C-alpha cells in the first residue's frame, strides 16, 4: 500500500529573505521528519517533499501562513517508500537555472507570467488536431534529452538539450519552424515553462502557451492520452506512469547523487523507452 505522500510545488514571487527562510524551513522539515529538496532564490521557491500525509500537510499549511505563499498549490502523488534520502534546503541564484537574468516570472504582479492552457483543453486540441481558432498545435518539450527518452507527448518537438540553460539558444535556432503555430511548451511540473514561454514570446512568437501544471497535472486529468511512456522524476521513484504510479521504490537525495539511479540513466535510450511502454 502506498503510504508516503509526495508533493511538488513552485512559485515565482520575490523572496529577498531567502537565506533566513532557508534556516526556518530546514528546522521545520526536520521537526516533521520530512525529506526532499527545497530550492529558494530571490525569484521564488521550488520544492519536492515527502513524508507522512499528516506531516506533509502540516508543512504546507505552515508555508501558507506566509502571505507570499498563501496560494501555493502542491501536486500530490504517492509511493510505497520514502523516495528521498535526506532533506536539502538550498539558496540558489535561480530556482530553475536559465542564465537569462531578464527572464523573471513574478506571480505577484499583473502579467508576471506567460499565458497557459489547462490539461483538459490541451487534450481536446490534440484530439481535434488544432486549437479553437483552427491553428495547428505543436507541443514543445523543454526538458533534458534523457528525461524525454523516458516518455513524452506523441510528436512533441525535442531539441535534445542537455540542460535547461541551452533552451534559449535552441529556440533561436528553430524559431522560424514555430511561426504560425500554437506552441504549447511543457515540462514535468511546469516550472521550466514559466521561463521558456516568456523567452519565446520575447523572441517574437506570439502564439505561445505553457501547459498548466506540466505533465504530472496532465496525467492527473487525462491519464496517458497522446502521451507515450513515463515521466521521469528526480527522486528514487525514477519515473511516474500516466496513472501516477512509481516505476521504482528506491530513495535518493537527488538523481545525480544516487549511484543506482545514475546507473539507470546511463542505459541506452532505446532500452529505457522499451521499459516505458
Annotated catalytic residue, options 187, 193, 231, 273? 187
- Please say whether the beta carbons of 56 and 82 come within 8 A: no
Walk across the sheet containing 35-41 and list its strands.
75-79, 4-12, 44-51, 35-41, 87-91
Backbone angles phi, psi at 231, to 5 degrees: -115, 115
Query: Quick one: cell of 169?
Result: 539558444
Q: CA-to-CA distance for 171 and 198, rounded, in angstroms?
A: 12
Helices (H), 71-208: 119-128, 145-148, 167-178, 191-202
Question: Whose CA is closest to 157, among 169, 165, 145?
Answer: 145
Look up cell 506552441; give the residue.
183
Q: CA-to-CA distance for 12 and 194, rounded, in angstroms?
A: 9
Between helices 167-178 and 191-202, what is the axis angle to 10°?
60
187 is catalytic: yes
Query: Hey, which residues are catalytic here?
Result: 187
Amino acid at each position: 500500500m502506498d503510504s508516503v505522500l509526495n508533493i511538488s510545488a513552485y512559485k515565482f514571487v520575490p523572496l529577498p529573505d531567502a537565506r533566513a527562510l532557508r534556516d526556518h524551513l530546514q528546522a521545520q522539515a526536520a521537526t516533521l521528519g520530512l525529506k526532499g529538496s527545497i530550492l529558494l532564490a530571490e525569484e521564488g521557491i521550488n520544492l519536492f517533499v515527502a513524508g507522512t500525509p499528516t506531516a506533509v500537510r502540516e508543512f504546507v499549511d505552515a508555508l501558507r501562513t506566509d502571505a507570499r505563499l498563501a496560494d501555493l498549490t502542491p501536486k500530490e502523488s504517492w509511493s510505497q517508500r520514502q523516495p528521498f534520502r535526506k532533506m536539502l534546503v538550498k539558496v540558489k541564484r535561480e530556482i530553475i537555472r536559465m542564465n537569462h537574468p531578464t527572464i523573471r516570472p513574478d506571480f505577484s504582479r499583473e502579467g508576471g507570467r506567460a499565458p497557459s492552457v489547462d490539461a483538459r483543453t490541451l487534450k481536446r486540441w490534440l484530439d481535434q488536431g488544432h486549437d479553437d481558432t483552427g491553428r495547428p498545435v505543436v507541443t514543445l518539450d523543454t526538458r533534458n534529452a534523457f528525461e524525454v527518452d523516458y516518455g513524452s507527448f506523441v510528436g512533441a518537438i525535442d531539441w535534445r538539450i542537455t540542460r535547461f540553460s541551452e533552451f534559449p539558444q535552441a529556440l533561436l535556432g528553430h524559431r522560424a519552424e514555430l511561426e504560425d503555430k500554437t506552441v504549447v511548451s511543457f515540462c514535468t511540473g511546469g516550472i521550466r515553462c514559466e521561463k521558456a514561454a516568456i523567452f519565446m514570446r520575447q523572441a517574437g512568437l506570439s502564439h505561445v502557451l505553457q501547459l498548466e501544471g506540466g505533465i504530472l497535472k496532465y496525467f492527473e486529468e487525462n491519464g496517458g492520452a497522446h502521451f507515450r511512456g513515463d515521466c521521469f522524476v528526480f527522486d528514487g521513484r525514477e519515473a511516474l506512469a500516466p496513472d501516477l504510479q512509481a516505476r521504482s521504490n528506491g530513495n535518493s537525495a537527488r538523481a545525480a547523487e544516487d549511484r543506482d539511479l545514475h546507473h539507470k540513466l546511463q542505459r541506452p535510450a532505446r532500452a529505457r523507452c522499451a521499459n516505458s511502454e
